[in-house]
Structure 1
Amino acid sequence: MSKVLAIAQNTFKEAIRNRVMYVILVFAIFIILSGIVVKDLTIAAHSQVIRTIGLAAISAVSIALALLLGIGLVYTELDKRTIYTIVSKPIDRWQFLLGKYLGLLLTLYLIVAVMTAVFLTESWLLNRQIQDYHFNAAMLRCIKAIGLGCLELAVIVAFALLFSSFSSPVLSGFMTLMVWIAGRLNEDIERFAEKLVTDMSGTPETAQSFLGGLQFILGSESGGAGDALKYLFAKVAVLVFPNFEIFNGRDEAIHFDTLNEIHLQMIVVNGWDAVIYAVPYTVAVLLVAMALFGRRNFR
């Protein structure tokens, strides 16, 4: 484990020396603070505008940095030829990948922490005169949304590491971006597949079963091979790609109603559901990345 931590520490040091990261971070902080001005230009509640801009900036910047930094994790070592020195040492390849993953994730979480501190400080200063139950409930949901975003980052970085283990930065960046887009559209894709069957059968129950829906389309007079292929592709996409909507707590944080103690406790439960989903998914992707990287020939 000491070898993994050493690689993670080295990756963290390399990442924080990246000047592009600081430029993006300063831009994100500027966007977050711009809510102070924008709130007076809209008819929406001031606190709602602050939450909308702040959470959007934190999410967008963290994901962008995950893509930019993650796709070059392995390629940088190959380009500098330092990978040959590393693999010649008594370090397993899985330890190398895991260290890279943890180092980048630590970097991203540090950036998220900085942006969160700016966002919460801004919210507190602008609402210090009216810090009541509603304000505390809103901040609690914002913290939950940011925490869910950190889980999303863990999955995205795992995919970036997977693709960077066998492809170029451009290709791995494109594939990681496609995974993120498909993950955000996961629930929409599933609804499309169910609607395809429901429109033909007239009963939603037919769409509940994968094989049942496929058999119905093939046997339907209005359906055919084309519709069956669409249905099959949509269902496979739902199963293969992660559902990133499970990590979307921003809408809940921005558009919240009056909360009581029971609802506040329910937030924690919903957060654990996301944890239970993210951890095994991330581990599975990392295991695939380690298997592919372990078979790669560097000669």
Structure 2
Amino acid sequence: MNLGRVLVIATNVFREVIRDRILYLVGLYAVLLFLAGRFLVDIAGSTEDKMLLDLGLAAISIVGLVIAVFIGTGLVNKEIEKRTVYVLISKPVSRLEFIVGKHLGLSAMLAVLIAAMTVIYFAILAIFLFRTPTPYASIIVSSIFQFIELSLITAVAILFGVFTSPLLATLLTFGVYLMGQSSRDLLQLGAISESSGFQRITEVMYVLLPDLSRLNLKNQAIYGMELMPSGLELTASAIYALVYISLLLAISTFIFARRQF
């Protein structure tokens, strides 16, 4: 795999997403969060700090998820529909370089988006919660893992986008996200079930589905570093996500290489 060609593809994806005016969502996020802060000052009372902390982190996650799913599922299909894929694969660009470049480009865009929204989030917290101790360190850790989670979802979106229509790929990716958030609950449900068949099904689903709950640190972040997982656990979760992303991209490449254009 040629890193230079991968970076060229990633840069093109990054620029295309910028041209789609995705960064306008950052401005919308800032306005809505500021208005929410003003509103919570009047009605929330003593719970204003926790509500604003929850709302800001949840909004970052939702905006990032929408972009990862709707853009990620169309990254490959758009090239096929525009027939630009014929030009790309006729050049010395391997299918692996194509898929990895697409993923890196959108992941880089998500990193910029999350960083920008986190800075705005801190600014809003400084305005409305200037008298309240704010867990900045844990929020930064949570934002980093939000990016890792969204990068994984981007890989899922690309996988489905390689062999299905954008609409079906979008629905499947949202389904994986929702089930991935509750995969541990499914495993526990199977453990207490009296049906051995259902228990095996939940165990298989837990293995196959990404365990996104280990990357979701929003609830712990608002209470500070004391409730965050240890450094070893965080490292293990990050490695888990990277391995999962690599497997998804490898499967995407395998399927894409067998498509006839």
User: Is contact 1:31-1:57 (8 Å) kept?
Assistant: no
Alignment equivalent of 1:246, drawn from 214, 234, 251:
214
Specify whether residues 94 and 186 from structure 1 end up closer, same or farther in structure 2 by C-alpha distance, changes over 3 A only. Answer: same
Match of 2:152 in 1: 155
Superposed displacement of residue 127, structure 1: 3.5
Superposed displacement of residue 114, structure 1: 1.0
Specify whether residues 269 and 232 from structure 1 end up closer, same or farther in structure 2 by C-alpha distance, changes over 3 A only. Answer: closer
SS of 1:248's equivalent in the other structure is coil
Gaps of 5+ in 2: none
Superposed displacement of residue 265, structure 1: 9.1
Q: What TM-score comes out, normalization by structure 2 length?
A: 0.92
Match of 2:79 in 1: 77
User: Is contact 2:180-2:209 (8 Å) kept?
Assistant: yes
Amino acid at match of 2:81: D
Deviations 1:110-154 (A, max 9, x none): 111111110011112334445xxx43xx11111111111111011
Give the whole-Å Cα distance in 1 for the aligned partners of 2:136 and 2:167: 38
Superposed displacement of residue 267, structure 1: 4.6
Given the alignment of the two structures, is residue 193 of structure 1 paired with residue 156 of structure 2, yes or no?
no
Give the whole-Å Cα distance in 1 for the aligned partners of 2:114 and 2:143: 8
Give the whole-Å Cα distance in 2 for the aligned partners of 1:97 and 1:114: 26
Amino acid at match of 2:29: A
User: Is contact 1:35-1:54 (8 Å) kept?
Assistant: no
SS of 1:34's equivalent in the other structure is helix
Amino acid at match of 1:155: L
Give the whole-Å Cα distance in 2 for the aligned partners of 1:129 and 1:25: 26
Question: Could you say which structure has the larger radius of gyration?
Answer: 1
Give the whole-Å Cα distance in 2 for the aligned partners of 1:75 and 1:116: 31
Superposed displacement of residue 32, structure 1: 2.2
Amino acid at match of 1:34: L
Over the aligned positions, Cα root-mean-square deviation in angstroms equals: 1.9
User: Is contact 1:35-1:49 (8 Å) kept?
Assistant: no
Match of 1:28 in 2: 29
Give the whole-Å Cα distance in 2 for the aligned partners of 1:126 and 1:43: 12
Given the alignment of the two structures, is residue 87 of structure 1 paired with residue 50 of structure 2, yes or no?
no
Give the whole-Å Cα distance in 2 for the aligned partners of 1:196 and 1:296: 42
User: Is contact 1:163-1:176 (8 Å) kept?
Assistant: yes
Superposed displacement of residue 272, structure 1: 1.5
Amino acid at match of 2:231: V
User: Is contact 2:221-2:227 (8 Å) kept?
Assistant: no
SS of 1:165's equivalent in the other structure is helix
Match of 2:197 in 1: 229
User: Is contact 1:165-1:289 (8 Å) kept?
Assistant: yes
Q: What TM-score comes out, normalization by structure 1 length?
A: 0.81
Superposed displacement of residue 29, structure 1: 2.3
Amino acid at match of 1:288: I
Give the whole-Å Cα distance in 1 for the aligned partners of 2:71 and 2:151: 13
Superposed displacement of residue 229, structure 1: 3.4
Matches within 5 A, 1:151-190: 151-190=148-187
Superposed displacement of residue 49, structure 1: 2.0
Alignment equivalent of 2:100, drawn from 98, 101, 104:
98
Amino acid at match of 1:249: L
Deviations 1:242-296 (A, max 9, x none): 1110011111122x27x6xxx4896534322321211111111111111111111
Alignment equivalent of 2:70, drawn from 59, 62, 68:
68
Give the whole-Å Cα distance in 2 for the aligned partners of 1:129 and 1:123: 10
Runs of 4+ in 1 over 6 A off after TM superposition: none
Give the whole-Å Cα distance in 2 for the aligned partners of 1:26 and 1:233: 44
Give the whole-Å Cα distance in 1 for the aligned partners of 2:127 and 2:31: 16
SS of 1:192's equivalent in the other structure is helix
Alignment equivalent of 2:128, drawn from 126, 129, 134:
126
Match of 2:119 in 1: 117
